Amino acid sequence: MPLSPTATRELLARLGHAPKRFLGQNFLVDGNIVRKSLELARVAPGDEVVEVGPGLGTLTTALLEAGAKVWAVEKDRTLHAHLNTELSPRFPDTFHLLEGDAVEHPLAGLSPANEGFKVVANLPYAIATPWLDAVLGGALPARLVLMLQQEAAQRYTATPGTKSFGAISVFLQAAYESAPGHKVSAACFHPRPDVESHLLHLVRRPAPFVFPPGAKSCIRACFQQRRKQIGALLRGILPSGATFWRQLLAEAGLDERARPEELPVAWWVEFSRRAPAWA
């Protein structure tokens, strides 16, 4: 599979395929980044690995050659057909390819046999947050190595009190710790994107917390009006008479004037645990 801009352009020409910006089709052309992705994910023979948007199969081939069992989901019909032709015959027992939307199939059809499965993916910006949100609602990968736009990576790992800290930061950080990742230059892709990227490395916590749907809806609603005070927000969102959150604020040394972005992840976790509406 191609690992240079020239080889990538030639293959795209043979396929008659122009990269689609709306699908985030920026193809990896740097072998060092491919190797770094596998290294961070600690890919070993027999590992179950999910890949999102395999594209031309550069990363996919490396995963398969490392002995991993790969479940991949590709939305583009041309690229899906190419992968099916090139990789399925070579790896009939370890390559599982699904045509579809990654948000609808966040684990590419994998039903994990154990809790040790991993995700290694080059995520298009448009689907990164909804895909991650979908993953956090089901079986949790042990480790994720995600190629993201730098802005998205910063948002997911943002700390309370910053403008980037939001609902997805809360949901993710309650279940995962951020491990050292890797900066990725725009020159590592074809076509070259307008922004820098980052390999985000996430490791599942020993006791990950998964927010139930009702709690997630409430937290999202709070962050959609992030400049409002938490007291006013919760009085408007929660059922009349629900006051458990006042004690939670007091226990944390906060008051009703705090804003959603000022509340730490642990506060939101305890808020979810104590809230009777979705217990």
State how far the Cα of 75 lies from the Cα of 103, in Å rounded to an integer.
Answer: 10
Distance of alpha carbon 227 from its chain centroid, rounded?
A: 26
Q: Quick one: which of 214, 212, 185 has its CA closest to 197? A: 185
- Over residues 65-84, the mean pLDDT reads 97
Q: Does residue 277 carry a pLDDT above 90?
A: no
pLDDT of residue 2: 60
3-class DSSP state of 129 = helix
- 191-195's contacts with Cβ under 8 Å and 24+ in sequence apart are 191/19, 191/26, 192/26, 193/26, 193/149, 195/149, 195/150, 195/151
3-class DSSP state of 175 = helix
Q: Does residue 1 carry a pLDDT above 70?
A: no
Q: Quick one: which of 22, 113, 99, 94 has its CA closest to 54? A: 99
- Over residues 135-152, the mean pLDDT reads 96
Q: How many CB atoms lie within 10 A of CB 93?
A: 6
Instruction: Tell me the domains of the chain and their CATH numbers.
Output: 5-204 (3.40.50.150), 213-278 (1.10.8.100)
- In this prediction, residue 20 has a pLDDT band, given cuts at 50, 70 and 90, of confident
State how far the Cα of 50 lies from the Cα of 175, in Å rounded to an integer.
Answer: 18
Q: Which residues pair with 121 in a beta bridge?
A: 146
Output the DSSP codes for 62-93.
Answer: HHHHTT-EEEEEE--HHHHHHHHHHTTTTSTT
% of the chain surpassing 90 pLDDT: 86
- In this prediction, residue 210 has a pLDDT band, given cuts at 50, 70 and 90, of very high
Q: Which residues pair with 74 in a beta bridge?
A: 99
- In this prediction, residue 265 has a pLDDT band, given cuts at 50, 70 and 90, of very high
- Over residues 176-184, the mean pLDDT reads 96
Residues 6+ apart with CB under 8 A from 250: none
End-to-end Cα separation, the chain, in angstroms: 50
pLDDT of residue 183: 94
* CA angle in degrees (0–180, nearest 5) for 144-100-171: 35
